[in-house]
Amino acid sequence: NAGVTQTPKFQVLKTGQSMTLQCAQDMNHNSMYWYRQDPGMGLRLIYYSASEGTTDKGEVPNGYNVSRLNKREFSLRLESAAPSQTSVYFCASNTDRVGNQPQHFGDGTRLSIL
């Protein structure tokens, strides 16, 4: 059971470089989410996609873009990485669109921006 798969697991970038974080789920879930986790701040929602073909901003969208490529895949792109984007990034998915089911999380991507 793969669940939610994130790649890569670790990445180091230089300021100004671009990168795409990949996320795929094999549970036929409708909704997908990207969070960042920083010490003392919990998880903060960057972007989400309630269904295939739609994306919406979360709490901290600045500096990021997303693409819901199909029902399975939801990618997060950093166009010009900044040190403030050093964080652990989690992708999650949910079978429904209104929060009546728990989210399922991937293992995370640890990203360092130098």
- Residue numbers at the binding site for other proteins (CB under 8 A): 4, 31, 33, 35, 40-45, 48-50, 56, 58-59, 90, 92, 94, 96-103, 105-108
Residue 113: how many CB atoms within 10 A of its CB? 19
Residue with tokens 């929602």: 45
Q: What is the distance, to the nearest Å, from the Cα of residue 69 to the centroid of all Cα atoms in its chain?
A: 13
> Taking the complex as a whole, how short is the minimal distance between the CB of residue 43 and other proteins, in angstroms?
4
Minimum gap (Å) between residue 103 Cβ and other proteins: 6
**Measured from the CB atom, is 3 or 63 closer to other proteins?**
3
- CB 8 to other proteins: min, Å: 15
Report the residue number, 13 or 108, with the smaller CB distance to other proteins: 108
CA 20/CA 13 separation, integer angstroms: 11
Q: Which is nearer to other proteins, 27 or 43 (CB)?
A: 43
With H, G, I as helix, E, B as strand and everything else as coil, classify residue 85.
Answer: helix
Q: How many CB atoms lie within 10 A of CB 31?
A: 23
